[in-house]
Amino acid sequence: MLPPVKLDARLKLFVFLAGLFVTSLIVGDLIGGKLYQKEVAGLVLTISVGMIPFPVVFLLTDLINEFYGARAARYVTLVGFAMALFTIGVLQLAAVVPWAPFAREPGYEGMTPAAFENVFSNSQWMLFASTVAYLVAQLIDIAVFHAVKRRLGGRFLWLRATGSTVISQLIDTCVILFIAFGKTLPLSQIASLIGTSYVFKVTVAVALTPLIYAGHALVERGLGLEPARPADS
């Protein structure tokens, strides 16, 4: 008989980070179809509200990379990929389940078939686009992060964190927006979305640098956990 799993601080933190990572990923996918527009200095900027959880995903990716290594980061990435596929499957199943007759009656104030189909059927395509882009970008992010870490050791945390994001998110942004909006928006609008979203992501990545160091210090000093060695990645 196997002994019970020991929930030490390192394992508890990993489960928490992985859970928050997957939740942020799925929530970002589900709300990604909503677009926000704002004029700044004469330029009309359009961005998906799916960017709201991006800072959380960015911080979690780097913390998992730093303290658990590339294999653990790839595992969490694949778990997130599997959960995104599971979400798509549940949405498809929910879409084919028949509606209660009273939900179609005039004056019904709950969720209507039209509203459900408009929101969640569109979300399925956004989920698919995001899932493909996410998997490619995350694997590139992990590879770049650990290539820099192996080269520089434990120095320049900001460089491996921000540098990996700058490269991976360019790919992520292009893939997801072309898949999600390629059939509904003109190329010029998609290009505008790509530019705005990418600039936003890079700006956030740079702005979050102090929080990366704060999170690193909290885990290392507050919880007494050491970063993974480059050789363990």
DSSP states of 73-101 as a string?
HHHHHHHHHHHHHHHHHHHHHHHHSPPPG
Confirm whether 178 is domain-assigned: yes
Confirm whether 1 is domain-assigned: no
Confirm whether 173 is domain-assigned: yes
List the CATH number of the domain containing 178. Answer: 1.10.1760
Confirm whether 103 is domain-assigned: no
Confirm whether 107 is domain-assigned: no
Cα dist from 67 to 20, 62, 138, whole Å: 16, 9, 17
Alpha carbons 227 and 1: distance in angstroms, whole number: 32
Confirm whether 114 is domain-assigned: no
Q: Quick check: helix, strand or coil at residue 48?
A: strand
Structure token digits, residue 11: 């394992």
Cα dist from 83 to 77, 79, 94, 187, 211, whole Å: 10, 6, 16, 31, 27
Alpha carbons 89 and 147: distance in angstroms, whole number: 35
Count of domains for the chain: 1
For residue 41, give its domain range.
Answer: 9-95+123-232
Confirm whether 211 is domain-assigned: yes
Confirm whether 194 is domain-assigned: yes
User: What value, to the nearest 5°, has the Cα angle with vertex 213 and ends 211 and 214?
Assistant: 60
Question: pLDDT truncated to tens, each residue of the chain (233 aa)?
Answer: 666 667 778 888 899 999 999 999 888 878 877 888 877 777 677 777 877 887 788 788 888 888 888 888 889 989 998 998 898 888 889 888 898 888 888 888 888 888 888 777 766 776 777 788 888 888 888 888 878 777 777 677 777 777 787 888 888 888 877 877 777 788 888 888 788 878 877 887 788 778 878 887 888 877 777 777 665 55
